[in-house]
A and B are shown apart, each in its own frame.
Chain A
């Protein structure tokens, strides 16, 4: 349980000689060495070497010999002799960056800092020898990795010959039997028809067969009876509910975000329905991959297809995102990390999350590969923006068909036409009534709307370069202002822009808070109808207008045109600040006070009112259209820089968008600079050359059919995963998947029709001894019903189940704002009471259905390739005392008492509806005894007790 890491990551071989002073170099450096020995060496020993010495090398850095700091750690040399600003150690000891403070616990004294600065300034004389051999081990190189089984090309293996004729028809059986023959064990008998029909129902549709359905299969004498049963079940609409659920596990599907402030994913049910429908329609698996990664970018013929493909991208969006994380760039990379990690596991069985911080320690995946993928998702919008206090996801209205579509299209075109008109009229109104505005006094911050004319705040301006937001000088408009930090001169500009509503002469004015440290020569360019005019502003001087605005000049502007005011920090000699720009119309008093103006204003008021009332219902109509949770392309796709040790603010080299080198065996498509690359990524994942994808899905399906995989670590096909028990069978299946055009149904059918799948759970005598974990599948593994099967089986047995297909299932989720406290209350106060199939049970991340929580649903935040099976007392308490069990037992009892009069027939039917078989003699006796000890054998209470005992019994909870 306590274990030491398996590999030393950084093998650093060092030889250190005893500390010595280089006597021969005295003339040039003696005072420096003396300084080092007296002031620096003790300081390093006392405060640094513990973490950067022979014991630990945090950040890969050593400070106990000269070459240690010369070579440096993960982010390069620790210091540059003679150059304080380029020396990382100096920034660290000054505690400038909250993420990078050394020593971490206590800041060095001012004296110690001064010593270190002096030492570096004098050229960092350091007599300590010792050499670092930097053989950073990162698991396998890409070349070495090509020899690992899962990265080798998939080749169709030769089907082995087996002796037993029964096992020769299906290649699957031949592979399985050959390994058994080699291991000297014999397979179990074929399962009984009663066991087989129950197994097939639970496996394919997740529910038990009714007594009639059992009977009809048991009585079916035709040779192909089982084949017919399988086909019938594959055609059932409930197939998608069971098999869609498997994929929803992989897709870590949930209907809320969990995390800090849990938000309701009110439209996530559309993704669930998309998955169920896809499995029902047998949409080829490669198509499913494409749609989930890049559905928004795929061509389409109908609005319905478009909707489907848009909905599919929720795969990327519905992870456990902590939307309220304040550092939005960190959040952005956390989201990307979650996407890369989920994508890697779900489709390729690769654990990529750890590569965020360093090369994969075990698999041949360098950091570059991670950031190549990260670039693709960085070029994808998953968060609506990176500024909201509580971030939001991307909601996309779905295209509609028929009348509704026309209605919406009309509404949209009216909206696009009228909205600019309304805005222009409002702007005209505001410049015409600018004289009536009661301008706020100079002083504390005020909203920009209180000022006359057209005012554009810095919030709505376009910026170039890294401006900084501030609220320091208090006389700003709205929320604050920007400044250039007095650095990066010539690299920063900010542009304010307005639509001119009416032709005329305007005074352009710039708002800023003056101070002594400001630039005296801030260049401002105003574009107007005659061209451009450059103005220089002295920002140390107070602005003349209401203590806030400085007049840039008077210019002519034409209505309907845009006017731009651009402020740069080129050649400036202090802080450049920008808060807002105002366009103030210059008119004669006579015009302003004229009756014509009064009439114009009155007319504008009426027009504005009528436009607003026209737009209101349209806005409502547009709001009510169906919405899907999606991703979309970022308007400016770009590559990502490596983040050193995964820390967002520490950038390394920029890596072009791309894929994993190790899984690239064929040609890849270039990612165009103006695309995210998701389309190309999806193509690469499902390419026949990709050695992972078809192996991983074939193994997943095998696992869902047998309860154990050929590769038992279903989400990890890397070097730390488990090797396949039957490598050739796995490759056969992977190729078969592709030959069947990725049809899941055909693939499932082939496996289920094999002898292997139809074996009994009773092992032959020597089998368990020789193969205790049943890797050779000499018998069918007895499996416990999972949480959904258990709940659905109880509801189906009692007859209380609601089999409605598809559709939302969270009461009250409808039209609420998902990003609100009301939405959280829906989750927190939710009472799970519907009787629908479990796949529709609200999949909240915080408030889970109790049965799912207890019966190993697993962690809804991760890809779940395989459910665990734990057996704990809290499950037993649930079976003994939970009201759901008690109620359902009563429902079943009432029905039974009505349906059958004879006590023996009742016992018979109770067993058939619950366990799918007749009672054994002993069971019959136990029930009879129980009833004879009771008050009346006709009471619902007694029969409810019997049903509850049946629900709790091993044969109900386990499948043969």
Chain B
């Protein structure tokens, strides 16, 4: 049994489909088609060489669900202090979508003071004191804009490039394009995803083969100490007894396989049990942070009240990056329709969430850099949209703002310390070097060595892409 090749098995039907797809890709990548067929039939998740120069090998996406306020964090707008409290005419996106009209709104100044940081003198507010220390390591894009005014559509758009239609998630596209370097771990992992705002569609493979679907580990709201791969442990049998049972199963399988020798699908079933057995032994170690040094844990804020939960997940993300997982998403979210960062009527609550993520994220950057991982790991921090520069319904919160917001990218071939793009004087509309979410998708694929116009999958007679018919690579931010 131990002589079984380490294949990630797939069905014959899938294998045949892979073969068809593999051809085009390998032709583009300049690899012989024979080799292409051999490798893609055996394993859809084998690592593949992209056809552009890859600057990053993997992505860690720190998803701030609900929408961080750009005007309270990275987008400094002095005018907001000057006009604080004034009723002015704004084009509110929600009212606009429903009525096509502008409306009068009360300007609200930032709740946290801004200072300049680092060599690049980037403005960051006191909301994120730890992340502020790293401004020379990441590139802040202040001119993001996206589709969808409500969380559901915008969150789906961020993950799949579509507000409403069923499309594969970005992580699935990337696994499809690049495979994975880990044969003991899934290639695309989403840590603590929410059920809300699209739920599994945000890490779903849609029409791509099932091998590319994201594996959810934990659920939003679950303690980080309980996160793991489903069904990884047998809670009923001792290891010895389970080994006996496993051997019985595999012996029977080999016996039953005899009836149809050479049936690759049946062989794949046997291999899938072998891999499961290996995952059962190895994956817990990847997820286990207990052997990390005290200093490392302290770096991520593990053991501290506010930061323990997200810190553990960021550290797990680093361990997964080391073990070759291709796309790791660390969600900061919950299961409600108004997710974590969604402060419609209580802006000060932003501080609570900032406390939870600020130190762990900064710790992750430090740790990745120290280990030389930041060079080929692309770290993306951000949410599905930003927030309005004015108070919602004249209250104490801010509404959604998809027309201008900030995200940052670190490592993986991005110009460190660059401040890119700008919003208008209010921080509401991106106006200079605008980066649409489609553009961000195209750029991330580019950094991974893929051309977003060529990463296609034929479904129902049409070639689909992550960026649909849109998207421009933002070469300005590429190092």
Task: Pick the residue among A104, A869, A930, A952 that contacts B265 (CB under 8 A).
Answer: A869
Separation in Å of the A63 CB from the closest CB of chain B? 17
Contact residues in A for B461 (Cβ distance below 8 Å): 351, 354, 362-363, 716, 718-721
The residue of chain B having its C-beta at the shortest distance from the C-beta of A946 within the complex is B248
Complex CA–CA separation, A325 to B87 (angstroms):
28
A312 to B438, CA, bound (A): 39
How far, in Å, is A572 (CB) from chain B's closest CB?
19
Select one of A848, A877, A934, A957 contacting B269, CB under 8 A: A957
Q: Which residue of B lies closest to A320 (CB)?
A: B166
Is A920 a contact of B255 with CB atoms below 8 Å?
yes
Nearest neighbor of A718 in chain B, beta-carbon distance: B461
Contacts of A517 in B (CB 8 A): none
**Could you mark each residue 190-209 of chain B with 1 if its beta carbon is under 8 Å from any beta carbon of chain A, else 0?**
00000111111100101101
Contact of B166 among A862, A872, A875, A949 (CB under 8 A): A862
- Chain B residues whose CB sits within 8 angstroms of the CB of A850 once the complex forms: 230
> Among the listed stretches B54-62, B316-324, B450-458, which one makes contact with chain A, having 4 or more residues with CB under 8 Å of it?
B450-458
Given A3-B454, A260-B152, A926-B251, A106-B434 contact (CB < 8 Å): yes
How far, in Å, is B16 (CB) from chain A's closest CB? Answer: 7
Indicate if the CB atoms of B232 and A949 lie closer than 8 Å: no
Q: How far is the CA of A570 from the CA of B435 in the complex (A)?
A: 44
> Does A727 have its Cβ within 8 Å of any Cβ on chain B?
no
- A821 and B103 CA atoms in complex are apart in Å by 29
Count contacts on A: residues with CB < 8 A to the other chain: 103
What's the minimum C-beta distance from B465 to chain A, rounded to whole angstroms? 10
Note all chain B residues with C-beta closer than 8 A to A870: 10-11, 14, 209-211
Which residues from chain A contact B153 at a C-beta distance below 8 Å? 260, 322, 324-326
B427 at the A interface (CB under 8 A): no
Map CB proximity to B onto A768-802 as digits: 1 under 8 Å, 0 otherwise: 10000100000000101000000000000000000
Interface of chain B residues 26 through 52 with chain A (CB within 8 A) = 26, 28-29, 40, 48, 51
Q: Give the interface segment out of B93-101, B307-315, B343-351, B366-374.
A: B93-101
Hey, what's the 0/1 contact readout for A58-69 against B, CB within 8 Å counting as 1?
000000000000
With a CB–CB cut-off of 8 A, which chain B residues contact A259? 152, 156, 164, 198, 201
- Cα A872 to Cα B188 with chains together (Å): 14
The answer to whether A880 has its CB under 8 Å from any CB of chain B is yes
Q: Are B48 and A1 in contact (CB under 8 A)?
A: yes
Interface pair B266/A469, CB less than 8 Å apart: no
Look across to chain B and name the residue whose beta carbon is closest to the beta carbon of A862. Answer: B166
From B87, B89, B231, contact of A882 by CB (8 A): B231
> Is the CB of B392 closer than 8 A to any CB of chain A?
no
Partner pick for A105 among B148, B276, B472, CB 8 A cutoff: B472
Interface 9-residue window, one of B73-81, B233-241, B293-301, B357-365 = B233-241
Q: Does B412 lie at the interface of the complex (its beta carbon under 8 Å from any beta carbon of A)? A: no
Q: Report yes or no: B11 in contact with A953, Cβ–Cβ below 8 A.
A: no
Q: B255–A871 contact, CB under 8 A?
A: no
Is A923 on the interface with B (CB-CB < 8 A)? yes
Chain B residue nearest to A260 in the complex (CB): B152
State the Cβ distance, B249 to closest chain A Cβ, in Å.
Answer: 4
Task: Please tell me if the beta carbons of A926 and B255 are within 8 angstroms of each other in the complex.
Answer: yes
**Given contact pairs A873-B276, A876-B276, A828 touches B335 in the complex (Cβ within 8 A):** yes
Residue B158, interface by CB 8 Å? no
What chain B residues lie within 8 Å of A106 (beta carbons)? 431-434
Query: What sequence of 0s and 1s flags, for each residue 350-392 of chain A, a beta carbon within 8 Å of any chain B beta carbon?
Result: 0101100000011100000000000000000000000100000
Q: Which of B148, B196, B461 has the largest count of A CB atoms less than 10 A from its CB?
A: B461
A interface secondary structure, majority: loop
**What residues on B are CB-neighbors of A260 within 8 Å?**
150-153, 155-156, 197-198, 337
For the complex, what is the distance from the CA of A952 to the CA of B103, rounded to whole Å? 63
| 8 A Cβ contacts from A815-864 to B | 821, 824, 827-828, 845-848, 850, 853, 856, 859, 861-862
Q: At the interface, yes or no: A436 with Cβ under 8 Å from chain B?
A: no
* Shortest beta-carbon distance from B275 to chain A in Å: 4
A347 to B261: give the CA distance in the assembly, Å.
Answer: 39
Quick one: which of A905-923 are within 8 Å of B by CB? 920, 922-923
Contact: A874 with B249, CB < 8 Å?
Answer: no
Name the distance in Å between B46's Cβ and chain A's nearest Cβ. Answer: 12
Alpha-carbon gap, A3 to B51, bound state (A): 11
- Complex contacts, B291 vs chain A, CB 8 Å: none
List chain A residues, Cβ under 8 A from B433: 105-106
Residue among B155, B199, B431 having the largest count of chain A Cβ atoms under 10 Å: B199
A721–B462 Cα gap in the complex (Å)?
11
Question: Judging by beta carbons under 8 Å apart, are B164 and A2 in contact?
Answer: no
Q: Mark B155-186, 1 if CB is under 8 A from A, else 0.
A: 11000000111100000000011000000001
Contact of B98 among A328, A363, A954 (CB under 8 A): A328
C-alpha spacing A868/B13, complex, angstroms? 8
B462 and A361 within 8 A (CB): yes
Beta-carbon contact of B104 and A472 below 8 Å: yes
Which residues does chain B contribute within 8 Å of A859, judged by CB atoms? 166, 204, 206-207
Q: Given the complex of chains A and B, what is the CA–CA distance between A322 and B255 in angstroms?
A: 50
Task: Say whether B256 contacts A325, CB under 8 Å.
Answer: no
B227 proximal to A (CB < 8 A): no
Nearest A residue to B52 by beta-carbon distance? A2
Query: Does B416 lie at the interface of the complex (its beta carbon under 8 Å from any beta carbon of A)?
Result: no
Distance, CA A326 to CA B26, complexed state (A): 43
B229 near A954: Cβ-Cβ < 8 Å: no
Indicate which residue in B25, B150, B235 contacts A1 across the interface (CB closer than 8 Å): B25
Residue pair B256, A327 in contact (C-beta under 8 Å): no
**With known contacts A877-B231, A880-B231, A883-B235, A954–B266 Cβ distance under 8 A:** yes
Say yes or no for A468: interface residue by CB 8 A criterion: yes
B342: shortest Cβ distance to chain A, in Å? Answer: 13
A761 within 8 A of B: yes
Report yes or no: B200 in contact with A1, Cβ–Cβ below 8 A: no
A761-B260, A870-B210, A958-B266 as given contacts; A876 in contact with B233, CB under 8 Å: no
Q: Please state if A821 and B231 are interface contacts (CB–CB under 8 Å).
A: no
Q: Is A881 an interface residue (CB 8 A)?
A: yes
User: A446 at interface (Cβ–Cβ under 8 A)?
Assistant: no
Most buried by A among B152, B198, B204, B237: B152
Q: Counting CB contacts under 8 A, is B381 at the interface?
A: no
Contacts of B269 in A (CB 8 A): 871, 876, 954, 957
Min CB gap B376→A, angstroms: 21
Residues A926-941 near B (CB distance < 8 A): 926-927, 930, 933-934, 941
B-contacting residues, A716-755, CB 8 Å: 716, 718-721
Q: Does A185 interact with chain B (Cβ within 8 Å)?
A: no
Output the least CB separation between A894 and chain B (Å): 14
State which residues 684-702 of A face B: CB under 8 Å: none
Hey, which chain A residues are within 8 Å of B260, CB to CB?
Answer: 761-762, 782
A862 to B40, CA, bound (A): 27
A residues 438-476 touching B (CB-CB < 8 Å): 468-472, 474
Is there contact, CB below 8 Å, between A1 and B164?
A: no
A5 in contact with B463 (CB, 8 Å): yes
Chain B residue at smallest Cβ distance from A856:
B210
C-alpha spacing A334/B166, complex, angstroms: 12
Give B337's nearest chain A residue, CB to CB: A261
- Chain B positions 235 through 265: 1 when the CB is less than 8 Å from some CB of chain A, otherwise 0: 1110001101110110111011101101101
- Name A3's contact: one of B93, B198, B230, B456 (CB within 8 Å): B456
Among the listed A4, A927, A945, which residue makes an inter-chain contact with B244, where contact means beta carbons less than 8 Å apart?
A: A945
- Residue A171, interface by CB 8 Å: no
Q: Which residue of chain B has the shortest Cβ distance to A325 in the bound complex?
A: B153
Residue contact A873 to B275, C-beta cutoff 8 Å: yes
With most chain B CB atoms within 10 A of its CB, the pick from A328, A880, A950 is A880
Known interface pairs A322-B152, A325-B164, A872-B9; 19 further A-B residue pairs with C-beta atoms within 8 A, sorted by A's residue number: A3-B463, A5-B463, A105-B472, A106-B433, A320-B166, A325-B152, A325-B163, A472-B102, A846-B199, A868-B14, A868-B210, A870-B10, A872-B8, A874-B215, A880-B234, A949-B249, A953-B252, A954-B256, A954-B257
| Subset of 15 A-B contacts with CB under 8 Å | A1-B28, A2-B25, A106-B432, A106-B433, A258-B201, A322-B163, A334-B164, A468-B99, A469-B95, A873-B275, A876-B277, A878-B231, A883-B235, A945-B245, A949-B248
